[in-house]
Structure formats: C-alpha cells, structure tokens
C-alpha cells in the first residue's frame, strides 16, 4: 500500500486544530478530513482525524507533547466491528500517521466503537473512539479527496483522427457490428499506436456508445500487441473504458506496464504487467476477475 503524504499546509492545519469534544464525528473546514470525537480510555493520544489525500486514507493521531519516544515506525492494531486490523504508526510532525487499508473503511462506518493501540503494551499509545456519525461524515468528505498524482507516468490519449484508427477499425469490426445490431447506432472509435523497440508495438483503441451497452464509462477499451514489424496483432488487453497511462520504467520484454484509472471520479490506479502473452493486473486480490480474455485463451 502506498504511503499517504499530506500536503504540508494541510498537515500543519490539522496539528493546530483543537481536539474535538463533540460526541460524534465532524467535518473539518479544510480538505477531505473527518475529526473524531474526544478519545476515551486514552493513554498518550489526545485527539484524532481521518484524512484522505491522493485517494489514500490515514488516521492522524495527536499525541501528548513528548509522547513519541523515537522516530521509528511502530506496529499496532485497530479493532472495530469485532475485527482486528494490523496497522503501523508513522511519526510525522511529532504526531502519528496510521495508514488505513481500503477494507477497513466499511467496518469503521458500520461499527459503534473503535480501539487503537500503537506500540508495546507497557509504554504504547492507546485510545477508544465512538463512531457515531462516521459513515455520514466520511461519505461527505470523500469527494474532496485529491486525485492520485499520475505525473510520473505517460498519459495515452486516444483520438478518432489518429491514423491507427484505420487498423483498429479492422480489428474491432466484429465489436462494432455487435453494437450496431444491439443499438441501431454506429459506435465511436478512437485509437493510438505506440511503436516500441525491435519492431514491437501496441495498438490501443476504444469503442464508445451508450452507457446501457458499455456500462458507466460508455466505452470498452482494447489493447493489441505486435511482436515484430511484420507480425500480426494479438488481443492482449480488454476492459471497460478507462484512462490509460504508461510506465516505461517498468518494461518487460520491451512492453511497458499499463496503469489505468476510471474515466470519471478518482481512485487508486490499477497496474497491468506484460506476461509474455498478454497484460494481467498485478494486484493479487483483483487478478482473478480482471485477467484478460487473451491471456486466458493462451
């Protein structure tokens, strides 16, 4: 899981905030921040906020002055809804940042209480928090969470006027035929071709039409690979419409890794890696449901 990096101005604003004495969760006046009620049965922890930046959530625990004995990360546990989650406290600006995995959010929203323990039993930090109002507040601040920074990667823009659309039209003729038969309309086609080393290439194309046919994005996205200059195009990637990025620093056999984001909204990007025959999503939890048909066929 990537580490949450708070913008300096946001981090300082949160640290300057007074502990919340309300009995339920509250929205902060800046960013995607939820302020927790005052801690109970606390030792060393005087307040907490749940913060989202670049689509990653973390608790920021405010500790008593001098409450951190060292700058080293500390293992801990978060308990809510009868489930124990292993967490890690990371010192930052004299406080503790505790990253929250995506599977922890729903129990936090649905439960009534949460216990946090960081460090050893003898000198560690601990507190309990009421979760009243957590779902409503988290859902309200979530849309304000900043998008993932994709600046290190190369954005792929598909165009209806790109010369690659001529090849894509041939490759996707059957797809276009099926859409026309189902809707009585012609689908929109856009494409881009990436020439790689040693005659290899990628042809990326989208077929777009109605959301009732292609889902929320209104598009289906296809990727074809060519292993040599005179080689044939092979289907190696097939998903719903997504934003596409290349990571040329993560090539395998001359084919760069692909990163995808939803067409609308913000989310953690998915990384697709070249297996030698097709692109497969790297996330182990998601891999089974997202493996390309081309990869399965081969």
Contact present, 262 and 148 (Cβ < 8 Å):
no
pLDDT of residue 97: 94
Give, for all 298 residues of the chain, the pLDDT tens digit: 444 555 544 554 454 444 445 678 999 988 899 999 999 999 999 999 999 988 889 999 999 987 787 788 999 999 999 999 999 999 988 899 999 988 899 999 999 999 999 988 766 899 999 999 999 999 999 988 888 888 899 999 999 999 999 999 999 999 999 999 999 999 999 999 999 999 999 999 999 998 888 888 889 999 999 999 988 999 999 998 888 999 999 999 999 999 998 866 556 789 999 999 999 998 643 333 333 333 443 3
Q: What is the pLDDT of residue 23?
A: 77
User: How are strands ordered across the β-sheet holding 40-43?
Assistant: 26-27, 32-35, 45-53, 56-63, 95-100, 83-92, 74-80, 113-118, 125-130, 40-43
- Alpha carbons 290 and 275: distance in angstroms, whole number: 14
pLDDT for 31: 85
Nearest to 270 by CA among 291, 249, 294: 291
For 168: left if phi > 0, alpha if psi spans -120 to 50, otherwise beta; the answer is alpha
What pLDDT is recorded for position 148? 81
pLDDT of residue 207: 93
By residue count, the chain amounts to 298
The CATH architecture to which 8-144 belongs is Sandwich (2.60)
**How is the chain split into domains, by residue range?**
8-144, 154-297
Q: Residue 264: its pLDDT value, please?
A: 61
pLDDT at residue 26, rounded to an integer: 94
Q: Strand locations in the chain, DSSP E?
A: 26-27, 32-35, 40-43, 45-53, 56-63, 74-80, 83-92, 95-100, 113-118, 125-130, 154-156, 188-195, 201-208, 219-226, 234-240, 242-252, 255-262, 270-274, 279-281
- The alpha carbon of 133 is separated from its chain's Cα centroid by a whole number of angstroms, namely 25
Measure the CA–CA gap between 279 and 238, rounded to whole angstroms.
9
């Amino acid at each position: 899981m990537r580490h949450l990096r708070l913008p300096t101005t946001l981090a300082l604003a949160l640290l300057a905030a007074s502990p919340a004495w309300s009995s339920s969760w509250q929205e902060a006046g800046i960013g995607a921040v939820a302020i927790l009620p005052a801690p109970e049965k606390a030792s060393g922890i005087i307040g907490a906020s749940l913060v989202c930046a670049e689509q990653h959530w973390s608790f920021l625990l405010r500790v008593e002055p001098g409450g951190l004995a060292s700058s080293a990360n500390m293992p801990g546990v978060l308990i809510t809804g009868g489930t124990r989650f292993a967490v890690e406290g990371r010192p930052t600006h004299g406080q503790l940042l505790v990253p929250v995995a995506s599977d922890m959010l729903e129990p936090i929203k649905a439960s009534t209480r949460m216990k946090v323990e960081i460090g050893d039993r003898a000198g560690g930090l601990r507190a309990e928090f009421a979760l009243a109002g957590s779902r409503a507040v988290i859902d309200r601040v979530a849309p304000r969470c900043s998008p993932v920074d994709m600046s290190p990667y190369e954005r792929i823009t598909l165009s209806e006027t790109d010369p690659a659309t001529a090849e894509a039209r041939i490759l996707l003729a059957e797809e276009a035929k099926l859409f026309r038969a189902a809707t009585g309309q012609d689908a929109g086609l856009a494409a881009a071709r990436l020439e790689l080393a040693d005659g290899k290439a990628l042809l990326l194309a989208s077929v777009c039409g109605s959301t009732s046919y292609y889902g929320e994005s209104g598009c289906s996205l296809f990727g074809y690979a060519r292993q040599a200059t005179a080689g044939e195009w092979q289907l190696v990637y097939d998903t719903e419409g997504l934003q596409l990025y290349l990571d040329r620093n993560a090539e395998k056999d001359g084919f760069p890794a692909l990163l995808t984001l939803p067409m609308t909204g913000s989310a953690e990007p998915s990384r697709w890696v070249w297996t030698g025959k097709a692109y497969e999503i790297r996330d182990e939890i998601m891999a089974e449901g997202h493996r390309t048909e081309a990869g399965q066929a081969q």
